[in-house]
Amino acid sequence: MKRFWVIIFNLILLSVPSALVWAAAEKAEMLEKKVDVTKLSGLNFFFASWYNDNMWLYAIIVTVLMGVLGLAIALVTDIILKMIGMEIHKIEHHE
């Protein structure tokens, strides 16, 4: 019986954010912002036009780009640390 109530409680917690989204849908139209691309060029124009045209695509591309950039920074850091003689390996936890 306890498991049943836990499942019901979790479903209620999961439904609260969606109810808030439905309540805020009317105000979302006022939040639409467009970036002025007249003075932009290169990558700035590229990302600003994505932001203006399709915000979902912009969000996905920026998220993937951040992950790739983080991975590149981690790999370069590992290479530099190995070059100066530090041992880089996974930490083993013994309890």
- Band of the pLDDT at 20, cuts 50, 70, 90? low
Rounded mean pLDDT of 19-33?
63
8 A C-beta contact, residue 37 and residue 53 = no
Domain ranges of the chain: 42-87
8 A C-beta contact, residue 69 and residue 57 = no
Handedness of CA 67, 68, 69, 74 (dihedral sign): positive
pLDDT at position 46 is 82
Residue 47, classified by CB atoms within 10 Å of its CB into exposed (0-12), middle (13-18) or buried (19+), is middle
pLDDT in tens, 27-70: 656 666 777 777 888 888 888 888 888 888 888 989 999 999 99
pLDDT at position 23 is 60
Residue 49, classified by CB atoms within 10 Å of its CB into exposed (0-12), middle (13-18) or buried (19+), is middle
